[in-house]
Amino acid sequence: QDAHGVLMVISWGILVPIGIALAKFGRFSKLWFKSHRFVQISAVVIATAGIFVGISIPGSGNHFRFEKHGAIGIVVLILGVIQLLIAFVRPHPGTTHRSKWYWLHMAGAVSLFILSIINIFKGMEIYGSRNAVRWAFGIWLIIYGALFAVGYVVLKVQATNKKNEVIPK
């Protein structure tokens, strides 16, 4: 149980949020895309291992002992795999379908992130994780959310300043 939970928290609770932040804020670096891709592929690989560990927990059977948690987990893993697959068919910038692809990829990422966080807390509840573990993960999410919000505001302010910048003649 512990190994399953640890793998899933590392994958969906830590790596995926880092990968999302890299995509949103890491574009100042030439390595942002490779970093984003590496982190997200690692998350799906670790989560796949976590699924196998979860299935092997005594009493889980082939149909999962905790139906909602198992079902959400499978949906999250499928969304993660779909995210990876659609990354391989990403249209080039400026082409007709690029904006549609971008919104699909972003919506998938947000859905995946929300469902995974719900399922991590659901798993902690099922397995009777200590309150300290739940609080620690909750605090990580609050810090991540605050940093993400600050980064978003900073990017918006920079974009506005750049748009309003007067070019000297």
Residues 1-30 pLDDT 10s: 688 888 999 999 999 999 988 888 887 778
Predicted local confidence at residue 65, as pLDDT: 55
CA distance 125 to 137: 13
CA distance 55 to 58: 8
Say whether pTM exceeds 0.85.
Answer: no
3-state secondary structure of 7: helix
Predicted local confidence at residue 45, as pLDDT: 95
User: Considering only CA atoms, which of 140, 143, 116 is closest in space to residue 51?
Assistant: 116
For residue 128, what is the DSSP state? T
